Chains A and B, each alone.
Chain A
Amino acid sequence: MTHNDYKEMIPAHALSALDAAEDRVLKEHLAGCEECRHELDDWLTTTAGLALDAPPLEPSAHVRQQILAQVHEIKVEVAPSKVLPFVAPKKSVWSSFGSLGAIAAALLFVGLIVYVVLLWRENRAIRLQVESVVAENNRIKQDLEFKNQWTQLSSAPGSKMSELNATPMAPGATAKLAFDKTGHAMLMTRGLPKAPEGKQYQLWFIVGNEKMPGKTFSPDAGGSGMLMDQVPSSAMDSAVFAITLEPTGGVKAPTGQIYLVSRS
């Protein structure tokens, strides 16, 4: 996908109107593209104006009270504790035991430090585990969302399904492409080898000698890939679909080997 493709998606993103897979792809791009982030800020300024089309309404008075009460609670929770000033102890008969007490206190202190370090390491390990579980959970949610959309699309009246078969470049790989009567298409792949550094798989719509470029994607470690695209109108009735390996971001005409292809 080219930089301009991403830029074209930004207005829809500002309206939260991209489909989940497109939204995910654009967010990845935004994270590394300052120009597009500026573009998004501009569009958000425009979309924010639409809020004024909603009639102004007065919320209940208790909302303000609840917000301020909760904010006050947060402040109290994070406020520093009031520490009593340290007062030097007066010398007494017990001062002869002072040096022993100091040694014991130092040992206790070292023990506490070790304990805190162990706790911190354990905490960090748990936090990493939690982050990993959250990431996995998000991935599963995205997969589920994509599969739900797949089910809706493939069962919509007038939708078509095409199977793509592996070439010797990817023995055992499979893919299915479904698209509805508006050309909205979804692709699911299985068993594709991992794309090398600097490469991505790209979808193609082939009608006769014309090869029209689709979007690019990178399968996960298990070879599963998902993609949403738009079938060109000229390819709606009699196209061959193919997947090639191309430079990251895609190309306008295929340069790489075909890994999967549908029957003509």
Chain B
Amino acid sequence: MQPEEAQITDVELLKAIVREDETALAELYDRYRVILFGLLVRILNSREEAEDILQEVFLQVWRRAADFDENRGRVFTWLVTLARSRGIDRLRSLAARERVAQAGAREAGEEVSDAVADAFRSEQRGLITSALAQLPDEQKRALMLAYFDGLTQSEIAAKLDAPLGTVKTRMRSGLSKLRELLGNKSASFGF
């Protein structure tokens, strides 16, 4: 039996991308496409827009892989931050919040293969789901409105008809609690 080949780390892939290795970009895409695409569809509520942004994100990775600094965080964090930032920018420029806010209007997504779904349904997702379930509803709501709907604190205050100061406190407390709950586990799960 052949010894199992050690998997190339995300950081090594980025270093190979800096050397213009197209296969490294393809490998990085294969690792993160479903999670980034899921995030973008949740933000934009449109497969077409999400695919457009996903493409932009990986072209940006190709051009800016050298900017990644492993001392500042993990590749997962860098990719999610790039994707979400572009997704929120597109959302705001499309003024598509009304669409997002319409209950039940979410576009049905294409199912992922069982193997891929299993990979992302596993411990990583369980960890975040469990942490979110422990937050008070009002804190979780404020975080979700900011993270996925791209609303600012003032917009959230108006939407929830709550004082701005209260919303700021909820967001800060919610995120602090989340950080505490994820704690060191986040590093071992790659985010």
Contacts and interface: CB of A to CB of B under 8 A. Distances in A.
A103 interface: no
A54 B38 contact: yes
Contacts of A63: 33, 51, 54-55
Interface residues of A, number: 46
B152 A17 contact: yes
A152 to B, nearest CB: 9
A25 interface: no
B157 A74 contact: no
A133 interface: no
Interface string A28-63: 000000000000011111111111111111111001
Contacts of A12: 146, 153, 168, 171-172
Contacts of B191: 45, 48-49, 51-52
B164 A182 contact: yes
B26 interface: yes
Contacts of A52: 35, 120, 124-125, 127-129, 191
Contacts of B172: 8, 11-12
Contact of B33 (A19, A55, A59, A182): A59
Contact of B34 (A45, A58, A66, A156): A58
Contacts of A58: 33-34, 37, 110-113, 116
Given A44-B81, A46-B175, A64-B26, A17 B73 contact: no
Given A50-B128, A182-B164, A57 B85 contact: no
B54 A54 contact: no
Nearest to A55: B38
A48 B127 CA distance: 13
Contacts of A57: 34, 37-38, 41, 47, 109-110, 112
A72 B22 contact: yes
B77 to A, nearest CB: 4
In the complex, which of the residues A47, A52, A75 has the most CB atoms of chain B within 10 Å of its own CB atom?
A52
B176 A18 contact: no
A104 interface: no
A30 to B, nearest CB: 13
Contacts of B168: 12
Looking at chain B's contact residues, the main secondary structure is helix
B110 to A, nearest CB: 5
Contacts of A128: none
Contacts of B136: none
Contacts of A51: 35-36, 38-39, 80, 83-84, 191
A55 B42 contact: yes
A81 interface: no
Given A15-B147, A19-B152, A51-B84, A64 B38 contact: no
Which 10 A-B pairs give the minimum distances between C-beta atoms?
Answer: A54-B42, A17-B146, A56-B34, A48-B80, A15-B146, A56-B120, A57-B109, A182-B163, A48-B77, A57-B38
Interface of B: 20, 22, 25-26, 29-30, 33-39, 41-42, 47, 50-51, 54-55, 58-59, 62-63, 72-74, 76-77, 80-81, 83-85, 88, 109-113, 116-117, 120-121, 124-125, 127-129, 131-132, 143-144, 146-148, 150-154, 156-158, 162-165, 168, 171-172, 175-176, 178-179, 182, 186, 191
13 contacts: A11-B176, A17-B146, A45-B74, A49-B128, A50-B147, A50-B148, A52-B35, A55-B42, A59-B50, A60-B47, A63-B33, A182-B163, A182-B164
